[in-house]
Structures are given as structure tokens and as C-alpha cells.
Amino acid sequence: MMATVVASAPGKVHLIGEHSVVYGEPAIIAAISLRCTVSATRSESMRIWGRELHQTLEATPREWATSLEQACAIHRSCMQSKNFRPLFDLMKKKPMNLPLVASALVLEKLSVRTGANIKIRSDIPIGSGLGSSAALAVSMAKALSTAYCYELSSDEINRIAFEIEQFNHGTPSGGDNSTCCLGGLIWFEKRPPVNIIRQVEGAIPGNLSNFLLVQTRKREKKTGQLLQIVRDLPEDFRVVRVKILGRVTGEMFGALGRKDAATIKRLMNEAQQVLAELRVSTVEIDQLTEAIRRIGGGAKLSGAGGGGFVICFHEDRKRLEETIRGMGYSPCEVQLGVKGVRLEASA
Ligand code: MEV
């Protein structure tokens, strides 16, 4: 009997710097205590078979299967298309199966010509800005490579996960997969060929405990489409705002280190204002962030926007929770800065 390898990776939340990070500005991103777990077993057949269960979305698991060759062909053709719009249109008509493509890519990278049986279980809401796809990509790379007896370094796992993310989002920065892979609190700058990735929890004392996450409406657009909205804005309009977000992120690093609550809140609100100008906020997010601003707090969308999660901060946690509930939402309890990808068990 083939051994089953189980690996898990955390989701992530952007404290600040989403979207501008795609244009080379820094972002500060924390790994969160919601995880995606992948179990992988080698198989001698040329098929990949999988079963997927997302806690927050579906009661019944989804199942999928394909030949390895077919899955590799889908992946190759998608990576070749430099214009991602047709890919998103295709996905709308016939949703591409991300886990399938992710597993095919890992096997292709390892030059493995046989298949695998995969099981996925995730607590991370899909398409909500919490890195569900990045956590899947990272845990898939770790579980499958280990099942095939490869001992890949974190860097190698992260590189494969980034390719999977490119398939899914077109032109991601790499910040999401790096955070899900390494865990903790990450300062990320996209600087190909070698990005700047620093684990900075040591520089930021305390446990970031007064941040709360709130889930607004599920977003309708994929991350890649939201990136495209920003890319389609007039260049000078976009460049000015991207620079502001970069400056605000730099200042946020200092404010977090000093535990300077007033500055943290001001910077979050400034970032939200600029993200709204970049057209990635929604009416619900505007209303919620405005309500939190009115009680003297800080709040902004987190991740690609267009719906999904808002991150909120106030020294008076009780007042923050009351305001969130008063707006008809429930605050979501997650721990920030948790461990990155890890092996859970091998059976
Ligand atoms: C998405 O979670 C974060 C974005 O900045 C995209 C990226 O960094 O790849 C919007």
C-alpha cells in the first residue's frame, strides 16, 4: 500500500499593501489560523483523482478526475496565454478545476509520469481575500512532492505554488503564496527574479490581538479580474495611488513596531480610501469601514477586494465588536502570525 502524506498551509490576511504590491511596492501580510489540508497518495495509474471539501461553502464534497496528460495540457496552454481575459471568460463558462491543475503542475515539475489520489479539506472561505488558492497551492506542492519522496526546500515549494497562483490569478505578486508557505508576519516586495521576503514578527512586538476580520458579501469577481480593473485605470491616476499605498505600508511597519494605535488606524483608513479610488471596494465595505472610522477605529478591505473580508482595528475591542454586530456582521476570530506549511502526518 502507498503511504498517504498530509500537509497543511495557512490562509493569509493583508494588513496593508494589496494591489500596490503587484507594482513593486511593499505589503505586510500575516498567516492566519484557518488552514487548507491536502492528503496525497501516489498512484501507479496515469490519473489524478481528487475529492474536495470546503467547510465554509459546501456540505457535500466535490470530486474530480482526469488523465495526467490532459491536466498537464490544460495547464500548459493557460500559462502560454499572456492575455488572461479569454481564460477568465472560459472559466466563467466552465469552471477550471484549480486543484486538478495544481496537482498536475506539481507532478509535471517533478517529472513524475504517474498519478495521485488527492483529498482536500479547507477552512478558508474561497474568493474572500484570505488566500484560499495560495494555501491550496502550497499544501498541494508539499503533500504531493513528499508523497513522491522529494524533499523540497520552502523556496522550491513556494516557487511551484507561485506558478499555480499565476495560473489562477494571471499576474499575482507572489505575496500570498510566500506568506502561506513561510507563515508568521511577512514583509514582501516583488522584485523578480528574487523577491524581498522578510519574516518580521520579531520587529513587531505583541500578538496583533486587536485586529478583527469581518466577512462582507462574497465577491463576484476573481482576483485576476480585480487586478485587471486596476491595470485598466489611466496610468498616471494609478501610479500616484500605488505610490501612496507604498508610502503608507512603510509607515505602517514603523507604527506596528511602536504599537502606535493612532497611526495604525489612520494608515488603515488612508489605505481604504485609496483602494476605493482604485475601484476595488464595494458599497458594503465602504459602509462598514465608515462605521468603524466613526467610532475612532481603522478598517480596510483585505486582499483583492470586490467583496470578501475587511480587517478592522481598535484598541477598544468590545466597542469594535459592538459596531461590527450593529452593522449586521459577526467578527471572525482568527489568530494572526501562525506557522506556515507543515506536514501533519504520513500514514
Ligand atoms: C490578493 O490577495 C492580493 C493582491 O495584492 C494580489 C497579489 O498580491 O497577488 C490584490
Question: E-assigned strands of the chain?
Answer: 4-16, 27-43, 47-54, 62-67, 115-122, 185-189, 196-199, 211-215, 298-301, 309-313, 331-332, 342-346
Residue of the CA atom closest to atom 2 of ligand 1 = 303
Pocket of ligand 1 contains residue 270 by CB under 6 Å: no
User: Which residue's CA is the nearest one to ligand 1's atom 8?
Assistant: 173
For the four alpha carbons of 329, 334, 340 and 341, in that order, the dihedral sign comes to negative
Percent of the chain with pLDDT over 90: 69
In the predicted structure, residue 23 carries a pLDDT above the cut 50: yes
Say yes or no to pLDDT of 118 above 50: yes
As annotated, the residues of the chain forming the CATH 3.30.230.10 domain(s) are 4-204+336-346
| Distance of CA 211 from the midpoint of ligand 1 (Å) | 20
Whole-number Å distance, alpha carbon 14 to ligand 1 midpoint, is 9
Q: Closest Cα to atom 3, ligand 1: which residue?
A: 303
d(CA 19, ligand 1 centre) in Å: 5
For the structural domain made of 211-332, what CATH number should be given?
3.30.70.890
CATH number belonging to the domain at 4-204+336-346, selected among 3.20.20.10, 1.10.10.10, 3.30.230.10, 3.50.30.20: 3.30.230.10
The residues, ordered by sequence, that sit 6+ positions from 98 with a Cβ below 8 Å of its Cβ are 133, 136, 164, 167, 168
Query: Which is more confidently placed, 61 or 341?
Result: 341
Helix, strand, coil percentages in the chain from 3-state DSSP, rounded to 5: 45, 25, 30
Residue nearest to atom 9 of ligand 1 (CA): 172
Q: From ligand 1's centre to the CA of 2, what distance in Å? A: 37
Residue with cell 516586495: 189
Choose the residue to mutate in 12, 16, 18, 280 for probing ligand 1, maximizing ligand atoms within 8 Å of C-beta.
Answer: 18
For ligand 1, the distance from its centroid to the CA atom of residue 176, given in whole angstroms, is 7
Cα separation of 254 and 339, whole Å? 23
* Alpha-carbon span 42 to 237, nearest angstrom: 51
Q: Is the pLDDT of residue 347 over 80?
A: no
The answer, yes or no, to whether any atom of ligand 1 lies below 6 A from the CB of 189, is: no
Answer yes or no: is the C-beta of 304 below 6 A from any ligand 1 atom: yes
Q: Over the stretch 272-312, which tens digit does the pLDDT of each residue have?
A: 999 999 999 999 999 999 999 999 999 999 999 999 999 99
Tens of pLDDT along 119-163?
Answer: 999 999 988 999 999 999 999 999 999 999 999 999 999 999 999
Show Cβ contacts of residue 7 under 8 Å, excluding neighbours closer than 6 positions: 37, 38, 40, 139, 142, 143, 146, 341, 342, 343, 344
Q: How far does residue 329's CA lie from ligand 1's centre (Å)?
A: 24
pTM of the model: 0.92
Task: Indicate where the chain has its CATH 3.30.70.890 domain(s).
Answer: 211-332
pLDDT of 42 above 70: yes
The angle subtended at Cα 77 by Cα 177 and Cα 160, nearest 5°, is 25
